[in-house]
Chains A and B, each alone.
Chain A
Amino acid sequence: DQQVKQNSPSLSVQEGRISILNCDYTNSMFDYFLWYKKYPAEGPTFLISISSIKDKNEDGRFTVFLNKSAKHLSLHIVPSQPGDSAVYFCAGGGLSGSARQLTFGSGTQLTVLP
């Protein structure tokens, strides 16, 4: 049972345009969500997060939107740059037993074309 789903394995966008990456979840107990970015041969790096009590969080070119009723979140990157080409993972976070844990989606490969 995949609690976090990223249904688009890949996305291509022209430089300067908006990139929209989507993520759906099923676990209502998640109380925060994070996006990670991963380049080849490197570990994932934190990008942006949002608490479940908010519906939007913005950091520079990156904005995350949360729709709790639809159990859906999205990451908007505008304008997209070639350096944004990477795999993006969304994750839901919450208490599991005594530990705070993250559950990751399968990732979306973003390619920004120059």
Chain B
Amino acid sequence: TAGITQAPTSQILAAGRSMTLRCTQDMRHNAMYWYRQDLGLGLRLIHYSNTAGTTGKGEVPDGYSVSRANTDDFPLTLASAVPSQTSVYFCASSGIGTGLNEQFFGPGTRLTVL
């Protein structure tokens, strides 16, 4: 079982360009999440999805959009990247009803916006 995969592993992007970070899970989890990790700030929630077809905003949603067309995939799109979006991005998933709702994380995408 692969769990959660993210692509690309890393990317350098020119400011103003768009990019989609991909996330796929094979655990049939209902809920999926996108976080960014920045030094001194921990993990901050960008967007989430409780189930396919629904999405919601997290703590830092500005400049990002998501879609959830099916259970497995949860892409994160930066429409026009800015340097402050330089970060490490983690996708996570959880299965509703699994006790204390542990979230499983992917390996991350390191994004640098110049």
Contact = CB atoms under 8 A, between A and B. Distances in A.
Contacts of B102: 34, 46, 49
Contact of A101 (B42, B58, B104, B108): B58
B40 to A, nearest CB: 6
Contacts of B41: 106
Interface of A: 4, 6, 9, 32, 34, 36, 41-46, 49, 51, 89, 91, 93, 97-107
A104 B44 contact: yes
A43 B100 contact: no
Given A43-B106, A101-B45, A106-B41, A32 B100 contact: yes
Given A42-B108, A97-B56, A100-B31, A51 B42 contact: no
B34 interface: no
Given A34-B102, A100-B101, A43 B90 contact: yes
Interface of B: 4, 31, 33, 35, 40-45, 48, 50, 56, 58, 90, 92, 94, 96, 99-108
A54 to B, nearest CB: 11
Given A34-B100, A49-B100, A93-B101, A44 B48 contact: no
Contacts of B48: 99, 101
A98 B57 CA distance: 12
A93 B102 CA distance: 9
9 contacts: A34-B100, A44-B43, A49-B99, A97-B56, A98-B56, A99-B50, A100-B94, A101-B33, A106-B41
